[in-house]
Amino acid sequence: MADPRLVPESTVFVLYGATGDLAHRLVLPAFYQLAIAGLLPEDWRLVGNGRGDVSHEDFQERVRQSLEEFGPKPAEGPWDEFSSRLLFAGGGFDSSNPGCLLDVLKEAQAAIGGQPQLIHYMAVPPAAFGPLTEAIGAHGLAKDSRVVYEKPFGTSMATFEELDRIAHATFEETQIYRIDHFLGKEATQDIQVLRFANGLFAGAWDNTHIGSVQIDVPETLDVAMRASFYESTGAILDMLVTHLFQVAGEVAMESPHCLEPECLSEERERVIGCFRPLTWSDVVLGQYEGYRETAGVAPESRTETFVAARLWVDNPRWKGVPFLLRTGKCMAEGHQRVSVLFKDPVEGLPGQPLGASILAFELSGDGDIELSLVVKEPGPTMGLTTSTVNIPLGTGFHTPALPAYSRLLHDVLMGDRSLFTRPDGLAHVWTVAAGILGDKPEPIPYAEGSWGPAAAAELAKPGTWHLGQ
């Protein structure tokens, strides 16, 4: 039974793009996960919205198919009760024509009774954010509601500023939730806890003790069915200026004065403001061999499927410490890892392994924390070796881990904005990335199943990348 303090108030949840890929793979399964965990309101309705003429029953069947493919399986939870609360409003939705959304919303609100909170979730391409926001305002659905925007929130400083203007013409900032699911991962949140709540690391989190920070998200998959989307973004927009920059902010932030949502997000956004703007001398782009033969990809495409960057944080704590960021498709292994590489002791011991003190956070799945240390090798001699301790975050505790999307959806339902991005931080992000968004060099070809272009190794010198050594 869920803690009553974690159960939100009655809610009508409108999912724009409800029959699209993002809703299918991530949002709907995350919502069902909350139902299994007992973390949905006592009374709620989810209204899917889209252009098609889909009946409530057909939409319920589509949701069941989503769960069969991406889980949790319908048989693993309260499917019958859950599905009875799923509605669909077809006919699209824009400023001049609401389709049947207003009618279905009245139906949902009447079924719940009272004044349920209203949440708008935009599981649509970024180009649709502005028109949908204006439509919400035009049809009187903005007051006291909340709105969730997927990433990327813009594709440049100019598009960010325009979307931010439209959003604030309709909503107050306190109503806006800009989602970046990497911030909802258990291990990402443990970066803060392990650092600020443990004296072992709190005093060593600076350039005196840390040699480099590496945020590494290699993927073994190709672009597959997402080729047309990927052609419009590439690795820089899809991963670097969204997920990797935000995780770097989590690692580099100063200690918050409190654990309230605004206090946490303020510190994260403040340190992003210290990121030095990137130039091509600190960035390597790559494209896996065979990408241009993918359906939907231009024969001469210069879209990067790999990016590695050396980022500098210009404040006293991190002066001289490179933050090495890397992500790519079709790589040798799949990870979502943050590695903090501590410097070797100045004196040290004879024969000790070098570069062995590493604190790593694996963000994928339920997450885990790894600590590598120099230890004595068992036996009669004083040989030194390296050993690793692992702390799994999804098992061994009385409460199970929530997937990132489920955690963030629950935060929206509860009105907690601490793990969501703010406009000041996003403006800084576009400033940092401005120099590498246009006039890109030809990406360097790399073999599928490799660690990307060899030139990326130069960014880590005099050290190396921790993964793929």
Q: Does the predicted TM-score (pTM) go above 0.75?
A: yes
On the 0-12 / 13-18 / 19+ scale of CB atoms within 10 A, 223 is: buried
Dump pLDDT digits (tens) for 32-44: 999 999 999 999 9
**Catalytic hit among 24, 181, 243, 410:** 243
Q: Per-residue pLDDT averaged across 171-177, rounded?
A: 97
Q: Stretch 236-255: mean pLDDT, rounded? A: 94
How many Å apart are CA 6 and CA 56, to the nearest integer?
29
Instruction: Answer yes or no: 335 catalytic.
Output: no
Q: Is 73 helix (H, G, I), strand (E, B) or coil?
A: coil
Q: With contact defined as beta carbons under 8 Å apart, do 361 and 251 qualify? A: no
In this prediction, residue 447 carries a pLDDT of 97
Residue 2 banded pLDDT, cuts 50, 70, 90:
low
Half-sphere exposure of 278 (CA within 13 A, CB side): 29
Using the predicted structure, report yes or no on whether residue 372 has a pLDDT greater than 90.
yes
Per-residue pLDDT at 345: 86
Contacts 24+ apart (CB under 8 A), 96-101: 98/135, 98/139, 99/49, 101/14, 101/47, 101/49, 101/139
CA-based end-to-end distance of the chain: 46
Cβ atoms of 467 and 218 within 8 Å: the answer is yes
Label residue 298 exposed, middle or buried (CB < 10 Å: 0-12, 13-18, 19+): exposed
Share the mean pLDDT of the chain.
92
pLDDT tens string 97-132: 999 999 999 999 999 999 999 999 999 988 899 999
pLDDT at 15: 98
